[in-house]
């Protein structure tokens, strides 16, 4: 059920880059403050916040491949996998992406996700159900 290594992603929904940049700036400020004062707590928090900021700025939240939908954390690890044969296996209820066969809510499509990527996902899920995931236009 899992993808072979190197299988291309068909559609990617990224995290909102503004949140990542804000976290990076906050982490850098905490790190500089910690290094300036010798406060280990600020150094550690600055490193953690900076790492999360990088994840938000560069990472993907949802990846739709030919056979599955993957939910990813800001650190890049896959937290959940849902088998998907095509667009008919997904639906959008308001701002929530739902896996139709299991009835489970996958992710909220509101705050924190890139609006353009969410719009492409809405178009793909609401588009014609030809059994194939959409091709990447990015």
The answer to whether residue 138 sits within a structural domain is no
Q: For residues 46 and 31, is the Cβ–Cβ distance under 8 A?
A: yes
pTM of the predicted protein model = 0.72
The answer to whether residue 112 sits within a structural domain is yes
Overall number of domains in the chain: 1
The answer to whether residue 131 sits within a structural domain is no
Burial degree of 77 (CB within 10 A; 0-12, 13-18, 19+):
exposed
Which residue range is the domain that position 28 belongs to?
Answer: 11-126
Tens-place pLDDT, residues 69-128 = 899 988 889 999 999 888 888 888 888 888 888 888 888 888 888 899 888 988 888 744
The answer to whether residue 32 sits within a structural domain is yes
The answer to whether residue 109 sits within a structural domain is yes
């Amino acid at each position: 059920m899992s993808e072979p290594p190197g299988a291309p992603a068909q559609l990617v929904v990224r995290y909102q880059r503004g949140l990542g940049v804000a976290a990076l700036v906050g982490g850098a400020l905490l790190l500089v403050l910690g290094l300036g004062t010798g406060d280990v707590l600020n150094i550690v928090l600055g490193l953690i916040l900076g790492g999360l900021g990088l994840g938000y700025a560069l990472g993907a939240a949802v990846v739709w491949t030919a056979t599955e939908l993957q939910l990813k954390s800001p650190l890049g690890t896959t937290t959940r996998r849902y088998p998907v044969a095509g667009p008919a296996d997904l639906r959008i209820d308001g701002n929530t992406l739902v896996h139709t066969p299991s009835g489970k809510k996958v992710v909220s499509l509101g705050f924190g996700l890139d609006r353009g990527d969410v719009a492409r996902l809405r178009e793909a899920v609401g588009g014609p159900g030809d059994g194939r995931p959409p091709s990447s236009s990015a």
